């Protein structure tokens, strides 16, 4: 299982700034840090990781994407409820609410059904409505109405998957952000530890430049 625990207590924006600052420290103290193996490759590693981290979507963006897809799904669900209700009022008029035909549609408590159960309900209504179309035609039910519902059901089915995919993708993105951030922070910490070690007895001001949390 992947760890989603951060190795640092700063926010993402601060880590990005720290990455930029670390590159500046390497440029300024290239000679001193070279004794610890901090070379052009290390500098480029930090540059690349920092830029990649900056380019990644934020969790706020990913959460917004989930919300947008959820709203689209819910809108389709409401449209389905309206269409199904318009069919069931016709079924009730022709067969009665206590009839086995009415019960066959399985729409009882549809307003509290989960998305998955409601999707199955919609598919069932389409199937059964086609069976009794001739009897319900006198109440204005047409194949066009049934086909419109069928299209809504298909769209709703896809919208459920799209929303779930967005949730999964958000989780994956969060793990990738943490993984990259930890890698970047670990390398920066190494460089800053070297900087503190070198400047500890040589320059208090430069030593302080390598303090990440003020210590």
Q: Which two tokens stand for residue 6?
A: 């951060």
Shared domain check, 192 and 136:
no
Domain match, 39 and 93 both = no
132 and 188 in a single domain? The answer is no
pLDDT at position 106 over 50: yes
Q: How confident is the model at residue 73 (pLDDT cuts 50, 70, 90)?
A: very high
Task: Indicate whether 71 belongs to any domain.
Answer: no
Number of separate domains in the chain? 2
- Smallest Cα–Cα separation from 186: which of 74, 42, 36? 42
Distance between CA 144 and CA 59 in Å, rounded?
43
Q: At what angle do helices 115-131 and 143-199 cross, to 10 degrees?
A: 160
Which letter does DSSP use for residue 210 in this model? T
Pair 127, 183 in one domain: no
Which tokens belong to 212?
């990440």
- 97 and 24 belong to one structural domain: no
In a domain, 49, yes or no: yes
The answer as to whether 190 is a domain residue is yes
Burial class (CB in 10 A: 0-12, 13-18, 19+), 38: buried
Question: Is the pLDDT at 2 greater than 60, yes or no?
Answer: no
Q: In the predicted model, is pLDDT for residue 25 greater than 90?
A: yes
CB 82 within 8 A of CB 67: no
Is 126 inside any structural domain? yes
* Residue 192's pLDDT band (cuts 50, 70, 90): very high
Residues 100 and 29 in one domain: no
Specify if 214 maps to a domain.
Answer: no
Both 178 and 152 in a single domain? no
CA torsion angle for 162, 168, 171, 172 (degrees, to 10)?
A: -110
Domain assignment present for residue 2? The answer is no
Q: Are residues 99 and 84 in the same domain?
A: yes
Give me the domain span that covers residue 141.
77-167
Check pLDDT > 80 for residue 117.
Answer: yes
- Residue 3: what pLDDT? 55
Average pLDDT, the chain: 96
Our CA angle for 148, 146, 104, nearest 5°, is 135
Residue 41 structure tokens: 């490759």
Claim to verify: residue 105 and residue 45 sit in the same structural domain: no
The pLDDT of residue 52 is 98
For range 116-136, the mean pLDDT: 98
Give kind and range of the element (H or E) at residue 204.
helix 204-209
| 90 and 160 assigned to the same domain | yes
**Does the structure show a pLDDT above 80 at 215?**
no
Give yes or no: residues 111 and 126 share one domain: yes
Same domain membership, residue 114 and residue 54? no
């Amino acid at each position: 299982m992947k760890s989603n625990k951060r190795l640092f207590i700063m926010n993402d924006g601060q880590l990005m700034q720290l990455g930029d600052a670390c590159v500046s420290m390497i440029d300024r103290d290239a000679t001193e840090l070279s004794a610890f193996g901090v070379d052009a490759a290390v500098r480029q590693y930090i540059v690349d990781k920092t830029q990649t981290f900056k380019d990644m979507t934020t969790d706020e963006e990913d959460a917004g994407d989930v919300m947008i897809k959820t709203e689209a799904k819910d809108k389709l669900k409401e449209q389905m409820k309206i269409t199904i209700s318009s069919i069931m009022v016709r079924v009730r008029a022709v067969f009665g609410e206590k009839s086995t035909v009415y019960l066959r549609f399985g729409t009882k408590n549809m307003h509290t059904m989960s998305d998955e159960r409601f999707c199955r309900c919609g598919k069932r209504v389409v199937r059964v409505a086609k069976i009794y179309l001739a009897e319900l035609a006198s109440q204005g039910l047409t194949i066009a109405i049934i086909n419109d519902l069928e299209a809504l059901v298909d769209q709703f089915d896809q919208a459920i998957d799209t929303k779930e995919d967005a949730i999964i993708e958000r989780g994956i993105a969060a793990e990738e952000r943490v993984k990259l951030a930890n890698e970047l922070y670990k390398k920066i910490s190494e460089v800053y530890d070297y900087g503190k070690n070198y400047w500890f007895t040589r320059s208090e001001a430069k030593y302080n430049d390598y303090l990440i949390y003020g210590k």
